[in-house]
Structure 1
Amino acid sequence: MKKKVILFLSITFVVVMAAVFIRDISNGNSSTWPDAIGRVLFSLLPVLLLFLKKIPFNLPLIISYYLFIFCTFFLGAILKFYDRFRWWDTMLHFFGSVFAGFVGIAIYKLLLPNSVEKGISRWMIFLFVLTFAVTISALWESAEFLGAVMGFMEEDDNKDTMTDMLTGLAGAIVVACYAALRKRAV
């Protein structure tokens, strides 16, 4: 079931992104090719999971991934929600960090045997999830900066960058608290 959902969502998203790119090219906007390539690669990323014997992420997490990139790329960039709603970027940084934290939880559960997990304290889980989500948030912000330096994205000021980083930290704290509280006391 997971494999069919991943294939369906990947193919659907690639087709939509390709259609938007073709529309942009036909309207004379050839500068969008880096964005189009990035959107297609992000939509194909979960397809790499199909090469694993066991997909480590549950279906809600996979669907959440596509919902997140739909909100980021389609609503945010293509339909210009970033320009129309000032809170859109901040909200996506918060939820992106929360999503990254849940990916961290899934990776933690995948890599740690149950016998070892029982001996790990809530604080270690909290720190792992927090660090994982904050790192992803920082990498995302670094990619935005690199895109601006290379001319693919608009430049942001320090206030926007710090707002994004603090919002990502807030989302990371929320999901880290959730992960720690879900763990039974040792």
Structure 2
Amino acid sequence: MLGNEGNDEQRARLVHLAILAVVQSVMATELVFLVAKQQWIHVFLVTGIMLTMAFPVVLKGRFPVQIPSEIQILAIVFGFATLFLGEVRDYYERFWWWDLTLHATAGLLLGLQGFMTVYILNEDCHVDLHMRPAFLAIFAFCFSQAIGAIWEIFEFTMDQVFGLTMQKPMLGDPSGLTDTMWDLIVNAIGALVISVAGWRYLSRARSSYLGDWVRRFIARNPQFFGD
């Protein structure tokens, strides 16, 4: 069993590095054209994305917490779709469903982050904290929704201060309110999926991808889960 998990993790690492290499190559190629066109805002944005994605690999040994490769893959794909395809390649304007899809994905990722954070605290041998599965699920959901709400506040602030249109007209509503509410709704749906999956895993010990990630996280971070 341990051997199979080790092989799965090794394959996941190779896939992670392959996806990162492809994504970085695409953005590096785009960066050349952006420099030639003197689109400096996008040059700065793409450079920042590339550096941010490279940091976890370059500084891997310096992080106290080792994140499973599958989660890192999701983060890379999400960042690429949100910032590069969405902002630089204008997918938000070209595809009406792009923003909603990414907000649903954000709900999943943020719910996963919230679940893993409180799970670590709950299982950490150095922290005297014992929470029921239902509370962990509720926390994961609320964590995701809170971050989603903060992001909507950020969009509103950017629109008001800099005259941007991050909150876009939708379904005949030019104010952006409908866009904001649908963003929060699909974020909640994504968060709910993770919360229910986490609750089922903890309370009923059901097999799931979430359970596999939890086990791999424990295996890679034994310092938090000693006797």
CA deviation vs aligned residue, 1:27-67 (integer Å, no higher than 9, x gap): 13233245335423542453555412441x21111111111
Q: Which one-letter code corresponds to 1:167 in the other structure?
A: V
Following superposition, the deviation at residue 153 of structure 1 comes to 4.9
Deviation of 1:173 (Å)? 1.7
1:3-14 alignment, distance < 5 Å: 13-14=23-24
Preserved CA contact (<8 Å) 1:35 1:152: no
Deviates more, 1:2-11 or 1:99-108: 2-11
Aligned length, in residue pairs: 184
Q: Contact 1:34 / 1:152 at 8 angstroms: preserved in 2?
A: no
Q: Is residue 97–residue 136 contact of structure 1 (8 Å, CA) maintained in 2?
A: no
2:80 is matched with which residue: 70, 73, 81? 70
For 1:170, the equivalent position in structure 2 comes to 189
| 2:116 aligned counterpart, secondary structure | helix
1:24 aligns with 2:34: yes
Q: 1:108 to 1:166 in 2, by over 3 A?
A: same
Q: Could you tell me how far 1:91 is from its partner in structure 2?
A: 0.7
Q: Give the residue type in structure 2 aligned to 1:175.
A: I
Q: 1:113 aligns with which of 99, 107, 123?
A: 123
Residue 87 (structure 1) shift: 0.9
Partner of 2:96: 86
Q: Is the 8 A contact 1:130 1:176 kept in 2?
A: yes
Structure 1 unpaired stretches of 5+: none
Taking the aligned partners of 1:173 and 1:29, their CA distance within structure 2 comes to 40
The one-character-per-residue Cα deviations of 1:98-148 (angstroms, maximum 9, x if unpaired) are 011112222233333267899532221111111221122223333433444
Whichever residue aligns with residue 169 of structure 1, its letter is A
Taking a change above 3 Å as real, the CA distance of residues 104 and 93 of structure 1, as seen in their structure-2 partners, is same
Per-residue deviation, 1:26: 1.0
Larger deviation, residues 131-140 vs 59-68: 131-140
Match of 2:63 in 1: 52
Structure of greater Rg: 2
Specify the alignment match of 1:140 in structure 2.
151
Cα deviation, residue 175, structure 1 = 1.3
Aligned AA (1:138): A
Q: Which runs of 5+ in 2 are unaligned?
A: 1-9, 168-175, 205-227
Residues 49 and 109 of structure 1, relative CA distance in 2, 3 Å threshold: farther
The DSSP-based 3-state class of the residue aligned with 1:154 is coil
Structure 1 residues 119 and 112, CA, compared in 2 at 3 Å: closer, same or farther? closer
Query: Which residue matches 1:159?
Result: 178
TM-score, normalised to structure 2's length?
A: 0.65
Match of 2:133 among 99, 119, 122: 122
User: Normalized against structure 1, the TM-score is what?
Assistant: 0.77
- 2: CA distance, partners of 1:52 / 1:87: 36
